[in-house]
Chains A and B, each alone.
Chain A
Amino acid sequence: MILGLLVSSAFFILFRLSPFIGLATLLYEGFGTVYGWYNTLRMTIPLLIIAVGLSVPFTAKFWNIGAQGQFILGEIFATWIGLLLSKCVPPLADIIIAMFFAFIGGAIWAIPPTVMKLYSGANEIITTLMMNFVAVYLLLWLVSGPMQGAQARLVGAPSSAPIPAQDMLPLIPGTQISTGFLIGLALAIIFYWILKYTEFGYELKLIGEGEQVASYSGINIKRQIFLSMIISGGISGIAGMVYVYGITSTLIPQFFSDISTSFGYVGIPVALMSSLNPIGIIFASIFLGGILNGAFVMEAIYSIPIDVVITIYGLIMIFSIIGIMFDLPKLIKRWKR
């Protein structure tokens, strides 16, 4: 991570900006003002929830790259059921039902790649990624067709009808922070505990240590992997629901369509750089959320292309993946020899 920041300084220099001022602005805009914090947390919430979900299959070294698609399916399911029910049930029930459906939607999207891996060995990295592409186009088609709102249709915008204001997630009193943040915190704490103190968490760790020792230990590997992916997909789906019900209020195609700034993808380094510890994920998601937010501001102020920030992401991602895949000390030892 530190290496990543060093290299990013070089990029600032390239854009005739002192790296110190560059980083300082980035951080100031992300964390320096109350307003900055609000915006940072807007970015943080989906990252946090997605990364907590990812930490579950990642513990078993099952690489779910499909959070983005699972997130989108969660958005779709939650919006659909929300619009359907909004007049019939009280707001709180609506939120709970929407969350449930979002979980189902995300989970459904996680099933095909998981089954393909478990029964025919297809690499989950590739299949989950492909599911993402399908989800993006499914969303585009829905919001410009069957689910397009009446208002949006008039102006030809790809967007659903808005979730009625009274059904949205409330703000934390006295702030402009969505209660989605509290949902994220609660999930992080719950999964910290599950991974650390339950039989399920123990078994996932053993599976992550290798199929041989896991089957020797009497673990039903397929079942636990499947369960971890249902959970991961479902939680990514909840992230999608929280995003729609807390921020956008309508179903719209992802604003950022490239890999590095889509929440589902950024969630991966968030999970990895925290060594899959959900409590660590809280801090990592705030940090990356802040950088992401600062980046938008910087783009506006200094016209630094957002790609520079994306590069920083990439670097952080690479170094944290290396960190987890290899034992750094061992790597260094081998290198010295």
Chain B
Amino acid sequence: MNTKEPIIRMENIVKVFPNVVANDGINFEIYPNEVHALLGENGAGKTTLMNILYGLYKPDSGNIYIYGKKVNIKNPLYAQKFGIGMVHQHFSLIPYFNVLENISIGLNELKINLNLEKVKKKLEEIMKKYGLLVDPEKRIEEMSVGEMQRVEILKLLFRGANVLILDEPTSALTPQEVDELFRSIRDLVKEGKSVVIITHKLYEVFQISDRITVLRKGKVTYKGLTSETTQEALVEAMIGKSVSFNDFSREQIKVEGSLRVEGLTLYGKGNVPIIKDVTFELKRGEILGIAAVAGNGEKELIDIIFGLIKQNSGKIILDGKEIQNKPVKNRIEMGLSFIPAERLTRGVAAGLALYYNSILHDHWSEPYIKHSIINEQEMRNFARKIIKSFEVVAKSEEVLAKQLSGGNLQKFIVGREMLRSSKYILAVNPTSGLDVSATQMVRQALVNMRNSGVGILLSSEDLDELVSVSDRIIVMYKGQIVGSFERHEFDKIKIGALMLGKNA
């Protein structure tokens, strides 16, 4: 199939993190004059693979060849010398410096000696050549995301990059900015560069790429030219075909009450809708899964239901009472619990002891507080109970929350929210960062809660998880519900396609 020789070849790359094999024997090639899309769901290992190529991580095993010669990329400086440049999801620009200053930083280490005048001249040449225009004197803090991205790309070109890696470059751009970016990418390729674009958006792949590699759970599941593939094949490669129902025993019980959301709408900056007219009902004794690619309004939806964000319009009805204007505390008292995605900043007070953190949602109620006075012993007892039942590895309940590892902290938060009495639990990625056995334990606990009559609204990036525990799944895309499935209709490929904005 390949007539050209690759510039860069990554061979059998393995990278293991404490809880996960992020790259599991990956082969990846970059060819001259091409846009290569690296496609995969969140957590598939895309960023890790490219960080290895850029010298940020050392692979546990595997080799990298440039023009057929084996190289050892010790750090990004080496990568830059080999002509590799990478723009991360989070930019590395200094906000109060202007473009020229940002571009000049670190040139010395690359042994490029230039004064600002010369930098400016060279920069202007580059800008003209690739149609990447910015005002060299403008400060970063005054720029839009699209402009900052251009500066990042210019910075790499200035350093002589020949292969540009862009990690999810469109995630924070407006549609117009995306068009502009894609135009620049085409110009770059025309001028002889190669571009790797990391993404989880299917339609972008067809818009811009020449070649595709799909990763799934650290492995390559598809490889080929864009012109020779179909959307269906890519969806299957991304999320897998086998619908493995990991069956938990479910009991049907009848409990009165439901959490209903009616016509919920939220506008973001510039009146762009983040959530648009969302309506659904969660019954007690049911797990309702929300399937969405991160950034489609699913996070805001849950924050609104808990009362952390105020909706622009719509109703939230809990057991027949409207709560959309009630403060968080009232909603908790009426039976809500919440396992948030942001563990360290939201899920716990990082600098306080675990026993202090055990009663975040009960810190006004007995037995922990009576007549506004704390009963420390009761707090400690509850913290010990969480630690014991959810196998949290912690020396004692006096350990500070921030001293726990990510997985243990997550177990603590999940345990706290499940062991307190509630009628409905909102859960966002409850098993993220947990190892296999802890994941299984948490899923089992979710189903047990359901069986005992608790209603669970589960938002998860892991489609397998949603499919294995949910009774129903709704799919969100660009702030709207675009699909709804009963358990017997679950079809990961259909759901996956809807998540990506495609009508299956």
Contacts and interface: CB of A to CB of B under 8 A. Distances in A.
Interface of A: 196-203, 205-206, 209-210, 212-213, 215-220
Nearest to A213: B349
A199 to B, nearest CB: 5
Contact of B360 (A196, A198, A199, A217): A217
B346 to A, nearest CB: 4
A82 to B, nearest CB: 34
Contact of A202 (B345, B347, B348, B363): B363
A276 B289 CA distance: 45
B338 A216 contact: yes
A215 B331 CA distance: 12
Contact of B308 (A196, A210, A216): A216
Interface stretch (B98-106, B350-358, B381-389): B350-358
A199 B327 contact: no
B372 interface: yes
Contacts, number: 68
Nearest to B379: A202
6 contacts: A197-B376, A199-B364, A199-B373, A213-B347, A217-B328, A218-B361
Given A205-B356, A218-B328, A220-B329, A213 B348 contact: yes
Given A199-B373, A216-B308, A216-B340, 19 more contacts: A197-B374, A198-B372, A198-B373, A202-B363, A202-B374, A206-B349, A209-B349, A209-B350, A209-B352, A210-B345, A210-B350, A213-B346, A213-B348, A213-B360, A215-B308, A217-B360, A217-B361, A218-B331, A218-B361
Contacts of A212: 342, 345-346
Residue in B331, B361, B374 with the greatest tally of chain A CB atoms within 10 Å: B374
B332 interface: yes
Interface of B: 306, 308, 327-329, 331-332, 338, 340, 342, 345-352, 356, 360-361, 363-364, 369, 372-374, 376
Nearest to B345: A212
Contact of B329 (A197, A210, A218): A218
A184 to B, nearest CB: 24
Contacts of B369: 199, 202
Nearest to A207: B349
A210 B361 contact: no
A196 B331 CA distance: 27
Nearest to A210: B345
Contacts of B364: 199, 218
A205 B328 contact: no
Nearest to A201: B374
A218 B349 contact: no
A209 B400 CA distance: 12
Contacts of A203: 363
- Greatest chain B CB density within 10 A among A196, A199, A200 is at A199
Contact of A209 (B306, B331, B351, B363): B351
A189 to B, nearest CB: 15
A217 B349 CA distance: 10
B360 A206 contact: yes
A205 B374 contact: no
B327 A216 contact: no
> Which residue among A201, A203, A209 has the maximum number of chain B CB atoms within 10 Å of its CB?
A209
Contacts of B331: 218
A200 B329 CA distance: 15
B345 A215 contact: no
Contacts of B356: 202, 205
A196 B340 CA distance: 27
B430 to A, nearest CB: 15
A220 B349 contact: no
Question: Which of B345, B349, B373, B374 gathers most chain A CB within 10 Å?
Answer: B349
A195 to B, nearest CB: 11
Given A205-B349, A209-B351, A209-B352, A216 B360 contact: yes
A213 B345 contact: yes
Contacts of B372: 198-200
B346 A205 contact: no
Contact of A220 (B327, B332, B363): B327
B111 to A, nearest CB: 26
A216 B347 contact: yes
Nearest to B340: A216
A197 B306 CA distance: 28
Contacts of A198: 372-374
A205 B379 CA distance: 16
Contact of A199 (B328, B363, B376): B363
Contacts of A217: 328, 360-361, 363
B342 A218 contact: no
Contact of A210 (B349, B363, B374): B349
A207 B494 CA distance: 44
Contacts of A220: 327, 329
A249 B482 CA distance: 76
A209 to B, nearest CB: 4
A218 B307 CA distance: 9
Nearest to B365: A199
Contacts of A213: 345-350, 360
B382 to A, nearest CB: 14
Nearest to B327: A220
